Chains A and B, each alone.
Chain A
């Protein structure tokens, strides 16, 4: 830890146990943190989860493979497209399906739009938690436009159900690419506007620099993925390491931080949004013609076996472990939830900090309780 001396209780201290949440707006859902406090200092913070447990993995066993896709929307309900992408990718891997290039490109566009939308929610609420109110209003305006694009594509704004095993249920509607291009052309200016509000803001830096520091070695030990891992400085991204869809044909960078603190994770996510814009622009330029659905059997029936497939979700590595018994229903379908595993490191990140910093750290881990509790 960065402040070992703070762990020593003062001789005349009276430690308190306080339950933070589960009904607290700054916990981003129904998260409860059992705090042990010495005055304002956090001695220990243990997350208590499970308030949103719906038994999704049990429900998966009842559904067919395509029928399980709507349930993945409800895991990380701020990033449904990437959750869809992971499940269909896992089943396609087990069946040996090659997705048509047009479908792969549209999937990448949806996933990157979703990444921007998810990072926008993170930025707005994270800034709101720390005390900067105005970014919330600016950011959510852009998110509306992304949700409009989703609505135009598949009719839904949040629970998209936008992919199928073998490709996509629909082709893009008329004029979608032009509207998408209009959106991404104006987005970098808006990102710069948000950064002007925060990046050099003195209060923002006081609240985020040096808060929730974690080294690369510790981050790997705790299994962190996504921006929390890259913020510590490890250049690691599933899109580059195990490219899925057509990410190997796209040119983009993986931003990393140096210090592993809340401020660096903020910078990493801001840069990720710009890289997503870059990916979408390349996809629009190179969007091939052709079918959006591969020739897959009507009844999806993967062979006996098991496979793990993961995508780089906005929050980290989102993986699906499929065990098939040769029938039309998954025998076991396990989700490797990125938020669940990232949240586990919370006690490490906040020990010795002030209570107010706990809010900043919960925000910077970018958790969604739907995915944690499943």
Chain B
């Protein structure tokens, strides 16, 4: 055996730039003491079911019977004058309410955003927030069209992306991805054999 070479001590580690490190995903944090949640708790102490911070965004769970009241307070007293987005998520297997309706609010004074979330069972109405923000009109229509969530007191709750008389709500998890037969097929399923011109044929 040859004599072992002296081992050089490893060079002091240069901190790698963040894009060469393995990414560390954010973790959800309980946020009941966050300033944005405390504001709501001060005004409506019993309307907050839970609050989570994830990736720097606050989500507040609200009972679905009280969403209109919470939205009014958020817009009026707390200054969330801008409804950025309104959508829904289908959790088909969840026993305590199938859908999450998600509201995403913005406040111009300090550029903060807040997510409100209500949990509703299939067939239960949610109060429409069109009286709070006019822009909620089409967003709620889209949620109705795609998920079949009904909004009480909506001025014009009709289908918006699919057509009137369409059967089903496409973004529900039990709606087939390949679609359903709506009776509106453009092409026949089976093309007749011998139809069409043949290369080198005489033609008719």
Contact = CB atoms under 8 A, between A and B. Distances in A.
Contact of B81 (A167, A220, A321, A373): A220
A344 B24 contact: no
B160 A308 contact: no
A344 B138 contact: yes
B138 A341 contact: yes
B26 A96 contact: yes
Interface in A354-374: 373-374
B25 A94 contact: yes
B198 interface: no
Interface in A92-121: 93-100
Contacts of B55: 93-94, 305, 307
Interface residues of B, number: 48
A336 B85 contact: yes
Contacts of A332: 89-90, 171
A96 B170 CA distance: 32
Contacts of B187: none
Interface stretch (B13-21, B36-44, B63-71): B13-21
Interface in A263-311: 291, 294-297, 302-303, 305-308, 310
Contacts of B54: 305-307
Contact of B161 (A53, A94, A98, A221): A53
B128 interface: no
B28 interface: yes
A93 B171 CA distance: 24
Contact of B20 (A220, A295, A308): A295
Contacts of A221: 81, 133-135
Contact of A58 (B19, B59, B81, B170): B170
Contacts of A296: 23
Interface string A307-323: 11010000001010101
Given A308-B113, A334-B85, 10 more contacts: A49-B161, A50-B162, A97-B19, A98-B17, A291-B19, A294-B19, A321-B87, A321-B102, A321-B104, A334-B87
Closest 3 A-B residue pairs measured CB to CB? A223-B135, A294-B19, A98-B18
